[in-house]
Amino acid sequence: MNEIANFCERVGADVDKVRVGIGTDSRIGKRFLFPGIGYGGSCFPKDVKALYKSGKDAGYTFDILQSVIRVNDLQKKILLPRIDAYFKGDLKNKTIAIWGLAFKPETDDIREAPSLYVIDELLAKGAKVQAFDPEAMENVRKKLGNTITFGTNMYDVLDRADALVICTEWSIFRTPDFEKMKKKLKNHVIFDGRNLYDTQEIKDEGFYYSS
Residue 103 lies in a domain: yes
pTM of the model: 0.81
Co-location of 24 and 88 in the same domain: no
Provide the number of structural domains found in the chain: 2
pLDDT at res. 4: 65
Any domain includes 113: yes
Q: Are residues 25 and 85 in the same domain?
A: no
Residue 15 belongs to some domain of the structure = yes
- For 120, the domain range is 79-210
Contact, 38 vs 104, CB < 8 A?
A: no
**Residue 68: what pLDDT?**
81
CA distance 129 to 161: 9
- Helices 2-11 and 63-75 cross at an angle (nearest 10°) of 60
Same domain, 10 and 100: no
Q: Is 201 a member of any domain?
A: yes
* pLDDT value at residue 61: 84
Angle at 150 between CA 83 and CA 96, to 5 degrees: 15
- Going from the first residue of the chain to its last (211 residues), give the mean pLDDT of each consecutive group of 10, the final group possibly shorter: 65 77 62 66 81 84 83 83 96 98 96 95 98 98 97 97 98 97 98 93 95 88
Q: What pairs with residue 129 in β-bridges?
A: 96
Task: Tell me: do 83 and 28 sit in the same domain.
Answer: no
**Does 92 lie in the same domain as 17?**
no
Contact 136, 107 (CB under 8 A): yes
Q: What is the pLDDT of residue 62?
A: 81
Residues designated catalytic: 43
| Beta partners for residue 150, in sequence order | 131
Q: Are 147 and 123 in contact (CB under 8 A)?
A: yes
Amino acid identity at 93: N
Q: What is the distance between the alpha carbons of residues 132 and 138, in angstroms, rounded to a whole number?
A: 10
